[in-house]
Amino acid sequence: QVQLQESGPGLVKPSHTLSLTCTVSGGSFNSGGYYWTWIRQRPGRGPEWIGYIYNNGSTYYNPSLQSRVAITIDTTANHFSLKLSSVTAADTAVYFCARWVLVVPAAISWFDPWGQGTLVTVSS
């Protein structure tokens, strides 16, 4: 059974870069067919999709964040990572990683499983 776990600093200073890693255990990371995704939830709001990376390294980001986001993958180490630059207090959120099943020809798509999330606070 695949499990995801986020890790990284819980406090980041304004204008600095937020860096998180998601470690995937339990198989399927190298098997292809999945999009490895970051999602965040700011206080009082619903979740917000940040972006994904595929096993071949291709990425796609939320247009509202794409100028500041980079997602990378290390298939040998079974993890993928998020960098969000020039952060402000508005980037304070719980950050989740998730596996995204997306099969466009079959018109199916869902996020499963998710990590339990990690709170990142942007403050000096």
Partner 1 sequence: EIVLTQSPDILSLSPGQSATLSCRASQSVTSTYLNWYQHKPGQAPRLLIYGASNRATGIPDSFSGSGSGTDFTLTISRLEPADFAVYYCQQYGNSPTFGQGTKVVIK
Q: Which of 8, 23, 47, 75 binds partner 1 (CB under 8 A)?
A: 47
The stretch near partner 1 (CB under 8 A) out of 18-26, 75-83, 85-93, 109-117 is 109-117
Angstrom distances, CA of residue 30 to CA of 25, 56, 113, 124: 11, 10, 16, 39
Q: Which is nearer to partner 1, 85 or 117 (CB)?
A: 117
Residues 6+ apart with CB under 8 A from 9: 18, 19, 120
Q: Which of 48, 68, 75, 78 binds partner 1 (CB under 8 A)?
A: 48
Q: Which of 49, 55, 70, 78 binds partner 1 (CB under 8 A)?
A: 49
Q: Which is nearer to partner 1, 72 or 116 (CB)?
A: 116
Cis preceding linkage at 63, omega within 30 = no
- Six-digit token string for 10: 């819980």
Site for partner 1 in 27-46 (CB under 8 A): 45-46
Q: What angle do CA 63, 3, 96 make, to 5 degrees?
A: 30
| Binding footprint of partner 1 on the chain (CB under 8 A) | 4, 45-49, 62-63, 96, 98, 100, 102, 106-117
